[in-house]
């Protein structure tokens, strides 16, 4: 019986996710909510600081 390969990638960057797709994984959990929120908050604060 053939089963799909699964993997949970914690990092919020797309590079590791793309790597696993290319390795044949078909069920991928991508990052965690608090990493996405933290990344976005840092990005927006950096933009804000550059404008003031």
Whether residue 1 has pLDDT greater than 80:
no
Please tell me what DSSP assigns to residue 24.
T
Residue 24 inside a domain? The answer is yes
Strand partners, 9: 30
Whether residue 41 has pLDDT greater than 80:
yes
| pLDDT single digits (tens) 11-33 | 888 899 999 999 999 999 988 99
Total domains present in the chain: 1
Residue 40 inside a domain? The answer is yes
**pLDDT for residue 13:** 85
Gap between the Cα atoms of 32 and 9, Å rounded: 9
pTM, full prediction: 0.64
Do 7 and 19 touch, CB atoms closer than 8 A? no
Domain encompassing residue 27: 6-51
Instruction: Compute φ and ψ for 48, nearest 5 degrees.
Output: -60, -45
Gap between the Cα atoms of 22 and 24, Å rounded: 5
Nearest Cα residue to 28 out of 1, 48, 5, 50: 5
Residue 1 inside a domain? The answer is no
What value does the mean pLDDT of the chain take? 91
């Amino acid at each position: 019986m053939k089963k799909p390969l699964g993997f949970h990638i914690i990092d919020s960057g797309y590079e590791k996710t793309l790597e696993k797709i290319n390795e044949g994984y078909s069920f991928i959990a991508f990052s965690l909510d608090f990493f996405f929120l933290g990344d976005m908050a840092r990005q927006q604060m950096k933009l804000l600081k550059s404008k003031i």
